[in-house]
């Protein structure tokens, strides 16, 4: 490939100016005029209860109330991968905070007041709040009708149980693998639930106009998927895909929390009840914690067989996921983790059970890392402990087993090109591994820890991206694309890709936030697959446009096509260095011939990408036979910490993360993903967790007690390292990097604490309190 002009440069964000000036429009910033109505949702005060009756009469009579809507008005089941939820609860509520009814009023205050007047008569039932209780011999069933639910073909629910999906992986010969081992180790780790905490709260406005058009404005990672699910769920009302339009402006952070469909469907459904009026549903921060998705908790039971030289011979990973009351999205987290729970290791004999368990807690779902952070906490902590028991340096242990290109994956596929070994060695060097940093303060102990990480996009095999690329008169470009600019810098990178192909600088290329009427299809902005997938679509659209330009110039100006190239918004020819024609001279109007007739016309490029090699079909008993994962992004990370042994306070002096992104299309944005991901990851291990009462009530649904790190809580130094082992089918060799940067944080902190204090804590988070108390208990 010739020298790249725009790719690989730290281009300034194309959306940057809109954001630093406050001009960027988020969904709550859109004005809807005097006709706007406001909804307040009535929520379940019980984790599990039967709804006997709902009395809406008092609410209906309250001032400024337009309509009160109850669940039975929408008896439709829907979901992304499994149809197991309703728009509003029907006969049962299955988690505290579940939506039961809604009040639509002329002011938000009136709606909120009237919602309190809706009287719901419940019979409280005993909730299942722990995975163990859900899996006991004769449990209460959270979903007695599970066997009738529609789901994707790669899910395996177990009838008459609370198991919504059971992902099995069997590879090699497990018994033989353990026999070959010199030693076999076992351990159990626990991970609680977490919240995304995007600073922008979910909001949605639905409008069902008098012509039967349903438009929904959302804050979302998935506008097209939302259109599809709205159309599917509301089909009984006669609404079709063609009637539904989803418009999504800038999104104030996603992290998985705005993927799929959660509260947006409430706005869509309520709109149909107040035809002609836009109706706004805006979550409070408390509702945001309860009623979007939560990161699922997991209990991980592991057994690993090793040779005395550190070679892993067998692994058994049993993952039991607290998936909550509805698993329409969360079951796929369970699936993804199950496919990859070996971690980035070459292990010949494998047994993985990844079990999706219904409980009466809020619905689990996607969260940056999609299950990998959860199982890697246990696995990467365990690998350190095994290395210690074998007397092997933890880095040497990892280098010995690290997966390489062409190695066999747990589900039978082959590993893609990867710079894992390079990443490990770079982290080792940067951390000064093996040198103990001394502290002058007698209470401060120092420690270092590392962790490897990997992750593949978890997506249906036919998830696709598309792009329309249209030129304007001055040869500037609008990209009609439908992934979301959620902060990762997607619009900028797409502009850089189109810029590279078309010789138009990125600042002249605008990415358009999606309107499903106008922008072509995109599956969802999740799975760290957008740079790769939509990047390919944009590349293909740009090449399509370039071909049209060259065709025209060849035809109208009789230039040799093979010699043409694009640079600085002009068409040039290798054969004639003096000759050029500016794009703006013909890109809309075409070129005039000597006889006054014109050739060409507005140039519009079209591009599409779908990974035609992927397949989710496999043997349900072994997981072998398909190609569910398109590729893995891998890396290594480490920390050097101070721990105050008296107070338990951890100070991260330095952290290093090396990730193989194939090709850093914009290194500044990759570094942004690294620093941001690290801090979000450290938060999950040092500070955050969702706490529930024994009634299933969330005890910390606010930033006072579920607090995300402040600027004072970040590492003293963060060192991003970019490794580039090209992804053969990626745009300019790129693969995704968004989620990966938070995945190694928990185990590397755990390993550093172990190094500093010789304490191993097996349940997240590793708070100051837990560190101090486990020290005290150890001394007893």
Partner 1 sequence: MKTQIAFTLNNELRKMDVETNQTLADALRYLMGTKSVKCGCERGDCGSCTILFNGKSVRSCLILALEADGQEITTLEGIKKPEEEMTPLQEKLLANNSFQCGFCASGMIMSLTPLLKKNPSPSEEEIKEAIAGNLCRCTGYEPIISAVKELAKENRQQKEKSK
Partner 2 sequence: MPIAHEFKYLKAKSLKNAFALMEKHPNYQVLAGGTDLICAIKEGMISPEAVIDIKGLKGLSKIKLSNGELSIGSLVSYSEIIESRTIKSYFPLLKEAAEKVASCGIRNRATMVGNICSAVPCLDAGAPLMVYEATVVVEGKDGERLIPIKEWFVGPRKTSLKAGEIVKEVRIKEPALKHGIAYDKLSRYEGEDLAQATVAVYLDEQNNYRISFGSVAPVPVRASSIENLLNGKALSAELIAQAKILVAQEISPITDIRATKEFRLHMCEVMMERSLKRAQMMLGGK
Q: Which of 63, 91, 109, 132 binds partner 2 (CB under 8 A)?
A: 109
Binder to partner 1 among 125, 543, 610, 714 (CB under 8 A)?
714
Chosen from partner 2, partner 1, none, partner binding at 112 (C-beta under 5 to 8 Å by type):
partner 2
Query: For partner 1, which stretch binds (CB under 8 A), given 171-179, 294-302, 358-366, 707-715?
Result: 707-715
Q: Which residue lies nearer to partner 2 by CB, 205 or 386?
A: 205
| Residues 249-278 as x/- pattern, contact with partner 1 by CB under 8 A | -xxxxxx-----------------------
* Residue 721 interacting with partner 1 (CB under 8 A): no
The answer to whether 705 contacts partner 2 (rule: CB under 8 A) is yes
Q: Give the sign of the dihedral formed by CA 132, CA 137, CA 142, CA 146.
A: positive
Residue recorded with tokens 């992927």? 614
Cα–Cα nearest to 525, from 463, 483, 482, 479:
483
3-state secondary structure 193-246: CECCCCCCCCEEEEEECCCCCEEEEECCCCHHHHHHHHHHHCHHHCCCHHHEEE
**Distances, alpha carbon 366 to alpha carbons 80, 195, 197, 373, 425, in Å:** 12, 10, 13, 12, 32
Q: What are phi and psi of 175, to 5 degrees?
A: -60, -45
Nearer to partner 2, 347 or 679 (CB): 679
Which tokens is 421 given? 């070994």
> Is the CB of residue 624 less than 8 Å from the CB of residue 338?
no
**DSSP assignment letter at 159:** T
CA 119, 125, 127 angle in degrees (round to 5)?
115
Is residue 710 a contact point for partner 2 (CB under 8 A)?
yes
Catalytically active residues are 739
Angle at 713 between CA 434 and CA 659, to 5 degrees: 50
Interacting partner of 2 out of partner 2, partner 1, none (Cβ under 5 to 8 A depending on kind): none
43 phi, psi to nearest 5 deg: -120, 155
Please, what is the minimum distance in Å from the beta carbon of residue 715 to partner 2? 12
Q: Which one of 52-60, 406-414, 554-562, 768-776 is the stretch in contact with partner 2 (CB under 8 A)?
A: 768-776
Window 249-288: contact mask with partner 2 (x via CB under 8 A): -----------------------------------xx---
Q: How far apart are the first and last CA of the chain?
A: 65
Q: How far is the CB of 287 from partner 2 (least distance, A)?
A: 10
The residue within the footprint of partner 2, chosen from 646, 716, 717, 778 (CB under 8 A), is 646
For 290, other C-beta atoms within 10 Å of its C-beta total 24
Residue with tokens 């409430």: 266
3-state class (DSSP) for residue 569: coil
Using rule CB under 8 A, residue 773 touches partner 2: yes
User: How crowded is the C-beta side of 218, counted as CA atoms within 13 Å?
Assistant: 32
- If DSSP codes are grouped into helix, strand and coil, which group holds residue 259? coil
CB 542 within 8 A of CB 605: yes
Residues from 80 through 109 that contact partner 1 (CB under 8 A): 109
Q: Considering CB distances under 5 to 8 angstroms, the limit depending on partner class, which of partner 1, partner 2, none binds residue 29?
A: partner 1
SS3 at position 634: strand
CB of 467 closer than 8 Å to CB of 536: no
Is there binding between residue 107 and partner 2 (CB under 8 A)? yes
Q: Residue 134: phi, psi to the nearest 5? A: -70, -25
Contacts to partner 2 from residues 675-694, by CB under 8 A: 687, 691
Closest CA to 718 of 427, 396, 423, 486: 427
Give the one entry of partner 2, partner 1, none that residue 125 binds, where binding means its C-beta sits below a cut-off of 5 to 8 angstroms depending on kind: none
Residue 557 C-beta: closest distance to partner 1, Å: 40
Residue of 147, 429, 555, 776 that binds partner 2 (CB under 8 A)? 776
In sequence order, the 6+-apart residues with CB closer than 8 A to the CB of 328 are 78, 79, 80, 81, 82, 83, 84, 85, 260, 363
Interacting stretch for partner 1, rule CB under 8 A, among 327-335, 351-359, 676-684, 765-773? 676-684
Cα–Cα distance measured from residue 271 to residue 72, given in angstroms and rounded to the nearest whole number: 16
Q: Which two tokens stand for residue 742?
A: 């938070």
Considering only residues 111 through 140, tell me which ones interact with partner 2, judged by CB under 8 A. 112-113
Which segment (117-125, 180-188, 445-453, 487-495) binds partner 1 by CB under 8 A? Answer: 487-495
For residue 627, the partner it binds in partner 1, partner 2, none, with Cβ less than 5 to 8 A by kind, is none
- How many residues sit close enough to partner 2 to count as binding (CB under 8 A)? 27
Within 577-685, strands assigned E span 580-582, 591-592, 598-599, 604-609, 633-644, 650-660
Q: Which of residues 54, 201, 339, 637 is near partner 1 by CB under 8 A?
A: 201
- Residue 563 in contact with partner 1, rule: CB under 8 A: no
Q: Quote the least distance from Cβ 68 to partner 1, whole Å.
A: 23
Per rule CB under 8 A, is residue 767 in the interface with partner 2? yes
Our finding on whether 199 is near partner 2 (CB under 8 A) is: no
Binding site for partner 1 (CB under 8 A): 10, 12-13, 15-22, 24-26, 28-29, 31, 109, 196-201, 250-255, 284-285, 486-489, 668-669, 671-672, 675-680, 702-704, 707-708, 710-712, 714, 718
Binding site for partner 2 (CB under 8 A): 107-109, 112-113, 284-285, 646-647, 687, 691, 699-700, 704-705, 707, 709-713, 767-769, 772-773, 776
């Amino acid at each position: 490939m010739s020298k790249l002009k725009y790719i690989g440069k730290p281009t300034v964000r194309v959306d940057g100016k809109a954001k630093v000036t406050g001009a960027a429009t988020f969904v709550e910033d859109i004005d809807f005029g005097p006709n706007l109505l406001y909804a307040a949702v009535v929520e379940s005060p019980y984790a599990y209860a039967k709804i006997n009756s709902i009395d809406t009469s008092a609410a209906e009579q309250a001032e400024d109330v337009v309509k009160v809507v109850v669940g039975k008005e929408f008896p439709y089941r829907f979901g992304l991968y499994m149809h197991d939820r309703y728009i509003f609860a029907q006969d049962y509520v299955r988690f505290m905070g579940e939506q039961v009814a809604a009040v639509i009023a002329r002011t938000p205050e009136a709606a909120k007041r009237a919602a309190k007047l809706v009287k719901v008569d419940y019979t409280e039932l005993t909730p299942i709040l722990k995975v163990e209780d859900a899996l006991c011999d004769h449990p209460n069933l959270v979903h007695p009708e599970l066997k009738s639910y529609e789901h994707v073909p790669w899910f395996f629910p177990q009838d008459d149980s609370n198991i919504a999906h059971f992902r099995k992986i069997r590879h090699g010969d497990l018994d033989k693998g353990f026999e070959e081992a010199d030693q076999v180790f076992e351990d159990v780790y626990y991970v609680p639930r977490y919240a995304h905490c995007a600073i922008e709260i979910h909001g949605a406005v639905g409008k069902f106009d008098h012509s039967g058009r349903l438009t929904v404005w959302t804050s979302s990672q998935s506008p097209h998927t939302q259109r599809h699910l709205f159309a599917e769920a509301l089909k009984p009302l006669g609404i079709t895909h063609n009637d539904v339009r989803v418009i999504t402006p800038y999104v104030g952070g996603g992290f998985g929390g705005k993927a799929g469909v959660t509260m947006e469907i409430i706005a869509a459904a309520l709109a149909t009840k107040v035809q002609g009026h836009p109706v706004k549903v805006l979550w409070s921060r408390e509702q945001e914690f309860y009623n979007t998705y939560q990161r699922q908790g997991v209990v991980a039971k592991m057994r690993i067989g090793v040779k005395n030289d550190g070679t892993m011979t067998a692994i058994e990973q049993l993952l039991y996921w607290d998936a909550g009351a509805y698993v329409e999205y969360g079951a796929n987290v369970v699936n993804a983790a199950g496919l990859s729970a070996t971690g980035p290791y070459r292990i010949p004999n494998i047994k993985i059970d990844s079990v999706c368990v219904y409980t009466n807690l809020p619905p689990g779902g996607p969260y940056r890392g999609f299950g990998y952070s959860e199982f890697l906490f246990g696995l990467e902590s365990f690998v350190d402990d095994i290395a210690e028991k074998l007397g092997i340096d933890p880095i040497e242990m990892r280098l010995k087993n690290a997966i390489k290109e062409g190695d066999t994956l747990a589900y039978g596929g082959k590993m893609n090109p990867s710079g894992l070994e390079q990443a490990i060695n770079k982290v080792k060097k940067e951390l000064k591994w093996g040198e103990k940093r001394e502290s002058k303060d007698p209470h401060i102990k120092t420690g270092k820890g590392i962790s490897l990480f990997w992750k593949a996009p978890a997506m249906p095999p036919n998830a696709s991206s598309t792009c329309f690329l249209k030129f304007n008169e001055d040869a500037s470009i609008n990209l009609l694309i439908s992934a979301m600019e959620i902060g990762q810098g997607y619009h900028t990178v797409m502009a850089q890709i189109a810029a590279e192909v078309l010789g138009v600088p990125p600042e002249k290329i605008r990415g358009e936030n999606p309107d499903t009427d106008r922008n072509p299809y995109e599956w969802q902005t999740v799975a760290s697959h957008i740079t790769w997938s939509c990047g390919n679509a944009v590349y293909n659209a740009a090449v399509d446009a370039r071909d049209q330009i060259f065709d025209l110039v060849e035809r109208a100006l009789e230039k040799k096509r093979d010699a043409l190239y694009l640079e600085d918004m002009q068409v040039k020819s290798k054969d004639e260095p003096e000759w050029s024609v500016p794009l703006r001279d013909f890109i809309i109007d075409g070129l005039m011939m000597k006889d006054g007739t014109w050739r060409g016309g507005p140039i519009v490029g079209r591009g599409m990408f779908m990974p035609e090699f992927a397949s989710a079909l496999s043997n349900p008993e072994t997981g072998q036979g398909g190609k569910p994962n398109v590729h893995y992004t891998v890396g290594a990370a480490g920390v050097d910490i101070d721990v105050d042994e008296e107070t338990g306070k951890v100070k991260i002096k330095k952290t290093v993360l090396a990730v193989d992104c194939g090709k850093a299309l914009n290194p500044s944005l990759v570094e942004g993903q690294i620093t941001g991901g690290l801090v979000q990851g450290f938060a999950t291990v040092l500070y955050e967790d969702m706490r529930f009462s024994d009634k299933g009530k969330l005890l910390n649904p606010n930033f006072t007690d579920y607090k995300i790190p402040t600027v004072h809580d970040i590492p003293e130094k963060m060192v991003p390292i970019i490794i580039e082992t090209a992804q053969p089918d990626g745009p300019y060799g790129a693969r995704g990097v968004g989620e990966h940067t938070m995945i190694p944080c928990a185990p590397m902190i755990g390993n550093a604490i172990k190094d500093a204090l010789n304490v191993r804590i097996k349940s997240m988070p590793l708070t100051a309190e837990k560190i101090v108390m486990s020290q005290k208990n150890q001394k007893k």
